[in-house]
Chain A
Amino acid sequence: MQTDMNLVRIDLFLETIGAIIAFAISHYANSAFKTTGQKRLSDLSTGFLVLSVSMFGRVIGTLYFFVLSVSGETASALTMRGAVIIAVEMLRIMSYILFAISTRRGVKEYENTSQLAILLAIPGLVSPTLEMVAIIVLLVVVLQSIMNYLSNRSRYALYVLLGFFFLLLSHIFLIFALDPTRGYLLSQIFQFLGLIALLFMLIKAGR
């Protein structure tokens, strides 16, 4: 049990690094938006910013949960944990929706903003199985990335495809793993690998 706990605490380290990577990508996408005025870069930047906030939120929430648990406030800790899980998952789904919108193919600007508003409201409308929603939205993002890679065959597009594919795998492992602890760890590792692939793209494209 102690070993499991130690292994699971690796997730805080991976999550923190991942949040920093997501923030770096958000920052670059935002500066690209300022240079070009391309609205979809702004959506992409917001998506990575929201993802970064959700990851930092998860780290801080988990640490706070431990503090409450150690101080004997078990009921408060459990309430807190539930609130953090829902908030983090909703933010994550919002970020994936923004990825899906910004990486849509063949659209230069979206026609109206009401579509975005409806999509962003989805996490609030669905039931506890937020992970399934995340998987469905990420599936759309991955399909769009595949189409983008097939059309331009650039290695940068391949890194993005790998990044989103690993993020999708991270959610699949979390939900379908037979052993929850191992599933959780695999999920964290794939999430980390996904963000590393995106960081690779950022570094290579910046050369």
Chain B
Amino acid sequence: MRILVDMMRAIQGEGDEGAGPTKILYAANLSHDRLTQYLEELVEKELVIEREQSSEGRAYHLTEKGRAFLEEFVRIERFSEAFGIEV
């Protein structure tokens, strides 16, 4: 879960332009195989969408569902950390 959230935060950090696979890979500190696997999972769950950028190849963007999920995750983090629980 933490890895997926890190990837989504990396995508969110790139704003409207979206994030390419390399940026996500470095942000979440993943191998290429695992990156592909997790990106597929995020797309499958409709948390991110993949778009072709003519200049830079593929880019990933957060969906509305993805943004809502990240907001909820921040609340969960605050709640958990208040009790000393790492998520």
Q: Does B52 contact A (CB under 8 A)?
A: no
For residues 49 through 87 of chain B, which have their beta carbon under 8 Å from a beta carbon of chain A? 72-73, 75-76, 78-87
Structural contact, A32 and B79, CB atoms closer than 8 A: yes
Residues of B within 8 A of A154 (CB): 78, 81-82
Please judge, given known A-B contacts A35-B1, A35-B73, whether A206 and B79 are in contact too, CB under 8 Å: yes
Q: How large is the interface on A (under 10, 10 to 19, 20 to 34, 35 or more residues)?
A: 20 to 34
User: Taking the nearest CB of chain B, how far is it from the CB of A104, in angstroms?
Assistant: 8
Please judge, given known A-B contacts A32-B79, A35-B73, whether A108 and B1 are in contact too, CB under 8 Å: no
Structural contact, A156 and B78, CB atoms closer than 8 A: yes
Structural contact, A32 and B84, CB atoms closer than 8 A: no
For the complex, what is the distance from the CA of A26 to the CA of B81, rounded to whole Å?
16
For the complex, what is the distance from the CA of A40 to the CA of B53, rounded to whole Å?
42
What number of B residues sit within 8 Å (CB to CB) of A? 15
User: Taking the nearest CB of chain A, how far is it from the CB of B21, in angstroms?
Assistant: 25
Q: Which of B73, B82, B85, B86 contacts A205 (CB 8 A)?
A: B82
Name A161's closest neighbour in chain B (CB-CB): B82
Name A31's closest neighbour in chain B (CB-CB): B76
Residues of B within 8 A of A44 (CB): 83, 85
User: Taking the nearest CB of chain B, how far is it from the CB of A194, in angstroms?
Assistant: 14
Specify the main secondary structure of chain B where it touches its partner.
helix
In the complex, the 8 A-B pairs of residues with the closest C-beta atoms, listed nearest first? A148-B84, A156-B82, A205-B78, A32-B76, A36-B87, A205-B79, A160-B82, A40-B85
Most buried by B among A36, A152, A154: A36
Interface of A toward B, CB cutoff 8 Å: 28-29, 32, 35-38, 40-41, 44, 102-105, 108, 144-145, 147-148, 151-152, 154, 156-157, 159-160, 201-202, 205-207
Structural contact, A206 and B84, CB atoms closer than 8 A: no
Residues of A within 8 A of B87 (CB): 32, 36, 38, 41
User: Taking the nearest CB of chain A, how far is it from the CB of B74, in angstroms?
Assistant: 9
Structural contact, A38 and B80, CB atoms closer than 8 A: yes
For the complex, what is the distance from the CA of A145 to the CA of B81, rounded to whole Å?
11
Residues of B within 8 A of A38 (CB): 80, 85-87
Name A32's closest neighbour in chain B (CB-CB): B76
Residues of A within 8 A of B73 (CB): 35-36
For the complex, what is the distance from the CA of A144 to the CA of B85, rounded to whole Å?
11
For the complex, what is the distance from the CA of A156 to the CA of B76, rounded to whole Å?
12
User: Taking the nearest CB of chain B, how far is it from the CB of A206, in angstroms?
Assistant: 5
For the complex, what is the distance from the CA of A28 to the CA of B75, rounded to whole Å?
10
Residues of B within 8 A of A32 (CB): 76, 79-80, 87
Structural contact, A102 and B79, CB atoms closer than 8 A: no
For the complex, what is the distance from the CA of A102 to the CA of B84, rounded to whole Å?
8
